[in-house]
Amino acid sequence: MARLIRIDWPDFGTPDLPPPLGLAEMRARLAAFRAAGARAGFDVLVVYGDREHAANLHWLTGFDPRFEEAVLVVTPGDALLLAGNECLPYTQVSPLVAAGLVRVGHCASLSLPSQPRGGRRLADWLAEVVPAGSRVGAAGWKWFTADELADGSDPALALDLPAFLADPLRDRAGRVENATPLLMHPGHGLRARVDAAEVARLEFANHMAAKALRRMAFALREGMRDFEAFEAARVGGLPLGCHATFATGTRADQGLSGPTGEVLRAGHPISFNICHWGANICRAGWLARGPHDLPAAAADYLESFVLPYVAAMSDWCALMRPGVTGGEVWAAMRRALPFEVFGVTLNPGHLIGLDEWISSPISEGSALPLASGMAMQMDVIPGHPAYGSTRMEDGYVLADAGLRAAIAAEHPNVAARIAARQRFMREVIGMEVPDTLLPLADTCGIVAPWLLDPAQVVAL
């Protein structure tokens, strides 16, 4: 029987700073990328990045462009990172650049409008490293399927690159194909699995985001403006993985809205998040102290909407085991959360990295198996015209015995906090959490439907 209990949200301690990206780790990633490209038959690999789409470039080099675009060109014996005026000095943040294993070129065309130009053109740089007539694999941030393109179009040739890069590449190469799946495909992409060091980094990001969200949740007061609520989060300074959201009042239906000056009123729905690279902590509910604050149409919100959702998230956790297919998870969530009531439209769970959404093994009919090393976002977003929403969005990692042993050996404090979170979710909240599911945030398991009294949480 599900019920509300009153508890302090748990605090399992502050992580130490996670290990920085090291040279050996970055060399291994670049080598794996070269090998994947060779297996796919590419002579050259080109990776594009900008401020919104920096994850692939950062994973390969440790560098992410700020303000500008950047381009990495990888051949069997060379690697060239092209940067604009302002990013050029910042390329030294890359261990590979600092070690001389990736050379840097200045390309002013990657700079902001009206800044000084001159120097080598992008086409000239490409002519230096891309052999004429070669087969090029180009990675941006997405790939395409035949049903979303014009009839007869070849999805392999649909590029997610700006024309100023795609055009000279096509002029130079014999064939340019979309190689983004080499990095981001949920089944075989290089970024679709994490190791023990990455788990430690993800846990740190989840901790920082969860603490900020907790501070904000407990600061919510009727009559305050959303600006004040967001100030209470005291976001610590890690890079944001997406725009911080805070939607209530007239913007309650605009889930991606940020603070705009709305006044918090009892009886209004609300959703908000804090997202850092590798972590997105989000909650949704009502500005209320109990059901008496809700409009009449939502009076049974707790019984009819929230409690079934939390039970479904327990089912979701139970399925997070290597070998379970993404289609099984999809089907189970549709059974537990009927669409006509809960209106879940997106994939019930996805992979997360520096980018908030990498891709997802979970889709209707997916035969892709869940696998050890998948960093998984519990991102099941219900929506209803009367009930609004509810949310338990946090980060997890799927881990077999080998990965769990590596975490325990290399980062014992991380392993201890993960074990404490598992116990909390099982023993206090009553959720089914297998050993293979590693909760990364202290908010994991917490659903507080009445967000003017967030110490009231659901237990199964």
Nearest by Cα to 289 from 274, 268, 259, 309: 268
Question: Containing H/E element for 422?
Answer: helix 412-423
Tell me the fold of 41-178.
Creatine Amidinohydrolase; Chain A, domain 1 (3.40.350)
The rounded distance, in Å, linking the Cα atoms of 88 and 70 is: 10
Q: Residue 329: pLDDT band by 50, 70, 90 thresholds?
A: very high
Residue 245: what pLDDT?
A: 94
The pTM (predicted TM-score) of the whole model is 0.97
pLDDT of residue 411: 98
Would you say residue 1 has pLDDT above 80? no
Strand order in the sheet with 70-75: 103-106, 78-83, 70-75, 44-49, 135-139, 175-178
Q: What pLDDT score does 208 carry?
A: 98
Q: What is the pLDDT of residue 5?
A: 97
What letter represents residue 193's amino acid?
R
Which residue's structure tokens are 């381009």?
71
Taking only the tens place, the pLDDT of each residue in 417-427 is: 999 999 999 99
HEC readout, 120-169: CCHHHHHHHHCCCCCEEEEECCCCCCHHHCCCCCCHHHCCCCCHHHHHHH
Check pLDDT > 90 for residue 165.
yes
Across the range 21-40, mean pLDDT stands at: 98
Instruction: Please give the average per-residue pLDDT across 392-401, as a whole number.
Output: 98
pLDDT computed for residue 255 by the predictor? 86
According to the model, what pLDDT value does residue 217 have?
Answer: 98
- Higher-pLDDT residue of 288 and 1 is 288
The pLDDT value given to residue 74: 98
| pLDDT at 182 (0 to 100) | 98
Which whole number is the average pLDDT over 150-154?
Answer: 93
pLDDT of 136 strictly over 90: yes
What percent of the chain shows pLDDT beyond 90?
98
Residue 3 scores a pLDDT above 80: yes
Mean pLDDT in residue range 61-84: 97
Q: What Rg, from alpha-carbon coordinates, does the chain have?
A: 23
| CA 86, chain centre distance (Å) | 27
Chain-wide mean pLDDT for the chain? 97
Q: Where in the chain is CATH 3.40.350.10?
A: 41-178
pLDDT digits (tens, 9 = 90+) for 211-222: 999 999 999 999
CATH number, domain 3-15+193-459, options 3.40.640.10, 3.30.70.330, 3.90.230.10, 1.10.3210.10: 3.90.230.10
The strand ranges marked E within 317-385 are 350-351, 375-377
Rounded average pLDDT over 448-457: 98
pLDDT tens-digit readout, 88-129? 999 999 999 999 999 999 999 999 999 999 999 999 999 999
Strand pairing report for 103-106 and 135-139:
unpaired
Average pLDDT over residues 60-77: 97
pLDDT above 70 coverage of the chain, percent: 100
DSSP summary character for residue 426: I
Residue 2 has pLDDT above 90, yes or no: no
Q: What residues does CATH 3.90.230.10 cover in the chain?
A: 3-15+193-459
Mean pLDDT of 128-136: 97
